[in-house]
Amino acid sequence: MKRDLENLVQAARAARKLAYAPYSNYAVGAAVLTKSGALYSGCNIENAAYPTGVCAERVAIFKAVSEGERELVALAVVTSNAGSPCGACRQAFSEFAGDDAVIVLAPVAGQKRKKFTMKQILPDRFGPAQLK
């Protein structure tokens, strides 16, 4: 898993370079690892009409889901300061991730990272189980 997480962080770093963030100047790259071993990346894409932009995490998650993946096991997010995903991105990840799924927050350069599980980053989350 350690090698998978390193590959995930590197994919998120590469995705960050493609970010379109002319308004906030806060580029974000993300990558998700699926249970099948596939990796999907995404970057944040801003828009002059602010609410219509989308976060890097959701781009990566939705790319995976649109390719048929339904079980996500890890998410890496790379920002200038190892920033944490917003609530909407946490909720989107939780839809397809178990309590033990890993979230790694990494800076653009260096090895100082933060690591959480889904349960830690979104305790008592609302999900499909609550709708049954």
| Cα separation, 55 vs 77, whole angstroms | 11
What is the reported pLDDT for 3?
A: 86
**Domain spans in the chain, listed from the N-terminal domain onward:** 2-131
| Cα separation, 122 vs 87, whole angstroms | 9
* 131 SS3 class: helix
Q: What is the mean pLDDT of the chain?
A: 95
Q: CB-based burial of residue 113 (10 Å sphere; 0-12 exposed, 13-18 middle, 19+ buried)?
A: middle
| Cα separation, 109 vs 115, whole angstroms | 16
Set 57, 67, 69, 71: catalytic member = 57
What is the reported pLDDT for 2?
A: 77
Q: State if pTM tops 0.85.
A: yes
Q: What is the pLDDT of residues 41-88, one digit of tens each?
A: 999 999 999 889 999 999 999 999 999 999 999 999 999 999 999 999
Is 95 an active-site residue?
Answer: no
> Does CATH number 3.40.140.10 belong to domain 2-131?
yes
